[in-house]
């Protein structure tokens, strides 16, 4: 009896494809592990491991009570150990991973598996929002390939697994042109639908105030603040002052923004204009760094009497502002000031204590004291916090600026020239300006990553690799990630279309889509279709029919195998005995 059609029940209650489900979920969730604490990864791996082993070794499968308990436990752990902000924060990602670990256990029927797959897509896009480089883009295609192969296989389990992989690859390849067209032509907008806090995972960078210790704590961080790509030559080290925030208000100890801070992107107009692009790492603040220029004199009425006296003395002695400034700088140079990350704590009059007693501090101390002196002497001054310096990447014409290069300096207002930068640190530790942080501090104080360790040669090689990878990512970022409305308009213009109106754009995109779709429909490849395994008996029978037909005995359409064989084949007398029949 030849095989009859497989009769299948609808929505069969059958737990199958467990290993495939685990594999697919792991593929999608894995990128998130790099952005979350390690216990999340462990949670997932343990659960997936148990799921896989339960399948292969027939261990007991957790029932609904156990699964619910695990879910609650996982959620509680996530909410407790991750930070508080919900939307876009690490808590959300953590919860997603917790669910990802548990979901493969829910595998009782086809519906469960389909829901798991659809959630897999959703999980994966979350990781795309927190990791943005070339590697994850390529990984994305791989993950979609695997997940879609699973989707096909779960829906058609009778076919071999290779069929799912093959079809997935074909559909993926056919979908890519559409994807590109949509990506290029889909209208982008500037605004947002709803303002949620950005899910940036970068470090905080600066706060909005400067107090003793603000900058020195940043020296502990090696993470990248931003990259700046230069079209021409990179300026000399002493000119690499990156302005971030301007602080105006001083209360005796801390400098703050005050009311005068303007939140716009400045067009700089310095003397020597330099063209560059800034690639900013995500942070939660609303400012943009730029080399540039800007616009006070307020100091508290009491406090720091010695410094006030010193300033008044200079004011009386000298006429021009430049002289006073020079005098102040000379003061720093003449006296035994030290540049250090760990100065003694300052008492109630911090400026006095710093200038006359301890004489040890980091850039924020010097800047703060200097600005105070200037203001006390009647010269408008303000604090600028930002970064100083940058690492040149040999593979690309850009600088990498890291958090540990954070710096604070001052600007004073000189009548003829306007706001002029004066960096008191350069008076005390000129190596900081000309070379970098590592050269300006004692080796003991340097953080781990700045110290020269052993394996210098290997380290060099590793550094080079990192630079190379970083330069690739920068190109990727510039080319792909920054493709925004602005670039879209530019592209359209470059394509020679005056496609300002949406109608043109829609028509073009629609036409392109139809063209690709038509090509798919018309391109009927028979070989491309899946090849089903045929019952060998059936295959043998058809071979017989074919051979008989060649010999002149044709099977009629209404003749079944028995009929054909008994009537025609058995009575067949071969005309000639041909060898090989």
**What residue ranges bind other proteins (CB under 8 A)?**
2, 4-10, 114-115, 118, 121-122, 124-125, 128-129, 132, 136-137, 140-141, 144, 148, 151-152, 154-156, 158-159, 167, 171-172, 174-179, 182-183, 186, 188-189, 192-194, 196, 198-199, 480-484, 517, 520-521, 524, 526, 529-532, 534-535, 538-539, 542
**Which of 72, 180 has the CB closer to other proteins?**
180
Which long-range contacts does 121-126 make (Cβ < 8 Å, 24+ apart)? Answer: 121/28, 121/147, 123/25, 123/28, 123/29, 123/32, 123/96, 124/28, 124/29, 124/31, 126/32, 126/92, 126/93, 126/96
**Which of 201, 397 has the CB closer to other proteins?**
201
Minimum separation from the CB atom of position 129 to other proteins (A):
6
Selection from 399, 464, 469 nearest residue 436 by Cα? 399
Contact 386, 375 (CB under 8 A): no
Minimum separation from the CB atom of position 154 to other proteins (A):
8
Minimum separation from the CB atom of position 170 to other proteins (A):
8
**Which of 236, 521 has the CB closer to other proteins?**
521
DSSP state of 252: S
Minimum separation from the CB atom of position 169 to other proteins (A):
11
Coil, strand or helix at 67 = helix
Minimum separation from the CB atom of position 266 to other proteins (A):
22
Contact 282, 326 (CB under 8 A): no
CB-facing half-sphere around the CA of 343: CA atoms within 13 A: 26
Minimum separation from the CB atom of position 547 to other proteins (A):
15
- Radius of gyration in angstroms for the set of CA atoms belonging to the chain, rounded to a whole number: 36
Minimum separation from the CB atom of position 242 to other proteins (A):
24
Structure tokens given for 202: 């970068």
Selection from 342, 339, 353 nearest residue 408 by Cα? 339
558: Cβ–Cβ under 8 A, 6 or more apart, which residues? none
Strands, sheet with 398-402, edge to edge from the N-terminal-most edge strand: 276-280, 224-230, 398-402, 391-393
Minimum separation from the CB atom of position 163 to other proteins (A):
8
**Which of 156, 421 has the CB closer to other proteins?**
156
DSSP sequence for 8-26: --TT------HHHHHHHHH
Beta bridge partners of 401: 226
Minimum separation from the CB atom of position 33 to other proteins (A):
18
**Which of 97, 427 has the CB closer to other proteins?**
97
Minimum separation from the CB atom of position 45 to other proteins (A):
25
Whole-number Å distance between alpha carbons of 290 and 292: 6
**Which of 21, 353 has the CB closer to other proteins?**
21
57: Cβ–Cβ under 8 A, 6 or more apart, which residues? none
Whole-number Å distance between alpha carbons of 172 and 179: 10
Coil, strand or helix at 418 = strand
**Which of 316, 531 has the CB closer to other proteins?**
531
Q: Are strands 360-361 and 381-388 parallel, antiparallel or unpaired?
A: unpaired
**Which of 124, 370 has the CB closer to other proteins?**
124
**Which of 128, 569 has the CB closer to other proteins?**
128
**Which of 183, 266 has the CB closer to other proteins?**
183
């Amino acid at each position: 009896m030849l095989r009859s059609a497989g009769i299948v029940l609808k929505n069969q209650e059958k737990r199958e494809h467990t290993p495939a489900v685990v594999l697919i979920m792991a593929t999608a969730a894995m990128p998130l592990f790099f952005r979350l604490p390690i216990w999340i990864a462990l949670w997932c791996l343990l659960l997936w491991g148990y799921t896989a082993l339960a399948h292969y070794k027939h261990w007991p499968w957790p029932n609904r009570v156990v699964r619910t308990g695990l879910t609650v436990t996982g959620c509680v752990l996530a909410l407790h150990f991750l930070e508080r902000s919900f939307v876009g924060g690490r808590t959300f990602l953590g919860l997603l991973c917790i669910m990802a670990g548990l979901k493969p256990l829910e595998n009782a029927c086809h519906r469960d598996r389909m829901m798991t797959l659809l959630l897999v897509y959703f999980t994966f896009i979350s990781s795309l929002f927190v990791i943005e480089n070339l590697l994850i883009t390529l990984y994305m295609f791989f993950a979609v390939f695997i997940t879609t192969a699973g989707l096909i296989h779960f829906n058609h389990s009778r076919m071999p697994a290779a069929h799912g992989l093959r079809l997935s690859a074909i559909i993926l390849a056919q979908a890519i042109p559409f994807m590109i067209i949509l990506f290029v032509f889909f209208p982008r907008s500037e605004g947002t639908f709803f303002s949620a806090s950005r899910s940036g995972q970068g470090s905080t960078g600066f706060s909005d105030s400067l107090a003793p210790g603000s900058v020195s704590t940043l020296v502990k961080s090696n993470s990248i603040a931003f990259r700046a790509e230069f079209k021409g030559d990179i300026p000399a080290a002493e000119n690499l002052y990156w302005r971030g925030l301007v602080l105006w208000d001083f209360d005796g100890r801390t400098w703050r923004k005050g009311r005068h801070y303007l939140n716009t992107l400045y067009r700089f107009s310095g003397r020597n204009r330099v063209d560059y692009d800034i690639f900013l790492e995500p942070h939660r603040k609303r400012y943009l760094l730029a080399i540039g220029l800007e616009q006070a004199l307020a100091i508290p009425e009491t406090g720091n009497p010695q410094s006030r006296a010193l300033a008044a003395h200079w004011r009386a002695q000298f006429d021009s502002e430049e002289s006073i400034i020079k005098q102040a700088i000379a003061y720093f140079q003449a006296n035994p000031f030290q540049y250090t990350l760990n100065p003694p704590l300052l008492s109630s009059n911090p400026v006095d204590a710093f200038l006359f007693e301890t004489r040890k501090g980091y850039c924020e101390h010097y800047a703060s004291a200097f600005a105070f002196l200037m203001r006390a002497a009647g010269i408008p001054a303000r604090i600028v916090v930002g970064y100083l310096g940058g690492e040149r990447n040999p593979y690309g014409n850009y600088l990498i600026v890291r958090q540990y290069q954070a710096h604070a300096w001052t600007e004073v207002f000189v009548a003829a020239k306007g706001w002029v930068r004066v960096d008191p640190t350069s008076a005390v530790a000129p190596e900081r300006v000309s070379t970098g942080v590592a050269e300006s501090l004692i080796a003991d104080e340097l953080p781990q990553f700045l110290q020269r360790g052993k394996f210098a040669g290997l380290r060099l090689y590793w550094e080079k690799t990192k630079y190379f990878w970083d330069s690739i990512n920068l190109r990727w970022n510039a080319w792909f990630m920054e493709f925004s409305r602005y670039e879209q308009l530019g592209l359209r213009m470059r394509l020679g279309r005056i496609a300002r109106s949406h109608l043109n754009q829609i028509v073009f995109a629609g036409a392109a889509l139809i063209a690709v779709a038509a090509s798919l429909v018309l391109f009927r490849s028979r070989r491309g279709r899946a090849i089903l395994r045929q019952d060998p008996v059936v295959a043998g029978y058809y071979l017989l029919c074919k051979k008989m037909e060649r010999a002149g005995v044709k099977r009629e359409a209404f003749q079944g195998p028995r009929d054909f064989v008994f009537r025609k084949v058995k009575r067949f007398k071969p005309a000639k005995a041909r060898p090989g029949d």
